[in-house]
Amino acid sequence: MAGKTIVITSGKGGVGKTTSSANIGTALAMQGNKVCLIDADIGLRNLDVVMGLENRIVYDIVDVVENNCRLEQAMIRDKRYDGLYLLPAAQTRDKTSVTPFQMKELIEKLKEDMDFIVVDSPAGIEQGFKNAISGADRAIIVTTPEISAVRDADRIIGLLEAEGLRDPEVIINRIRADMVDRGDMMGIEDMIEILAIDLIGIVPEDEGIVVSTNKGEPIALNDNAKAGQAYRNIARRIMGEDLPMMKLEKDSFITRFKKLVGLS
């Protein structure tokens, strides 16, 4: 198999790279793909926690590049899907423990029997970022409707282009239709106008994300959650399907009423 490597990155921290990585990886596995998630945030690992696999880590990515173990030994099989693996980051080391060259080698090896490799990039533009994008075939940038996040996303697109990663795609995360309508939040068109790249998905703000992160269960597994649906759609778009973008719905009168009386 010749898998595709997708790097999930953003520049700015806290916009939802790890959440997006976990959910895209899970949703791709739900579609029957063999997927390996790589946490490239060495020293500040989180992807294992979000995936609910923290207590299964024995070896990590640094052990692999330092030949303390075989690659297969460090890969943690997901508890829900057989085709989903996680290669965790080391927590006690730093970004310089791995070089872009080693990362590339590692990914080449993984590509042999994976359909997709999803790399969760750390925030920033330094070594950790450079490690994460080396070996990537495709980049997805996560941004939120804030000027600072869009500015950083723009910077990242420029850096990706300089590294030869052309035509990245963007996920707009945590958007709130009601605020956009009031003019209190940047709209999707405004953001795409600045970034001038393809939109691969819109993820609405969802309280469920906090709950699912804390429980270690990606929201993509939840059939009723809007955000889960959004990530499942993104996975299908990554596989080449042409799906229309999700309509951002404002709360209907009935749901508002339900909220008011505490039913929803």
Partner 1 sequence: MASVFSFQAVSDGIVMNFRDGSTFGNIKKAVSFHAAEASDFFTGVNLYLNLSGLELAFEQLEELMEIVKNYNQVNKIYFTARKIKKDEKKDEQYSDAVIINRTLRSGQRVKHQANVVIVGDVNPGAEVIAGGDVIVFGRLRGVVHAGAGGSKNSQVAALKLNPTQLRIASLIARSPDDSDSSKLQAERAFIENDQIMVEKI
Among 124, 19, 106, residue whose Cα is nearest residue 69: 106
4 a known binding residue?
no
Shortest distance, position 15 Cβ to partner 1, whole Å: 15
Confirm or deny that 18 is annotated as ligand binding. Answer: yes
In angstroms, the first-to-last Cα distance of the chain is 46
> Can you tell me the distance from the alpha carbon of 163 to that of 248, in angstroms, rounded to the nearest whole number?
34
Is 34 annotated in some ligand binding site? no
Would you say 196 or 261 has its CB closer to partner 1? 196
The residue ranges that bind partner 1 (CB under 8 A) are 151-152, 154-155, 157-159, 161, 190, 194, 196
Q: Which is nearer to partner 1, 194 or 243 (CB)?
A: 194
Q: DSSP code of 119?
A: E
Least separation in angstroms between residue 167's CB and partner 1 is 13
Residue 62 marked in a binding site: no
Tokens of 106: 């590692």
In the complex, the smallest distance separating the C-beta of residue 117 from partner 1, rounded to whole angstroms, is 26
Closest distance to partner 1 from the beta carbon of 181 (Å)? 16
Q: Is 13 annotated as a binding residue?
A: yes
**Closer residue to partner 1 in complex, CB, 159/179:** 159
Q: Between 162 and 263, whose beta carbon lies closer to partner 1?
A: 162
* The token pair that represents 189 in the structure block: 């068109």
Task: For residue 257, give the 3-state DSSP assignment.
Answer: helix
State the pairing for strand pair 84-87/76-77.
antiparallel
Tell which residue, 167, 218, 172, has the closest CA to residue 192.
172
Task: Compute the distance between CA of residue 73 and CA of residue 60 in angstroms, rounded to an integer.
Answer: 9
The type of residue at 195 is L
In the chain, the amino acid numbered 79 is K
Nearer to partner 1, 14 or 158 (CB): 158
Phi, psi (degrees; rounded to nearest 5) at 43 = 100, -20
> Least CB distance from residue 196 to partner 1, whole Å?
6
**99 annotated as ligand-binding:** no
User: Binding-site residues, please?
Assistant: 12-19
User: Binding-site residues for ATP, please?
Assistant: 12-19
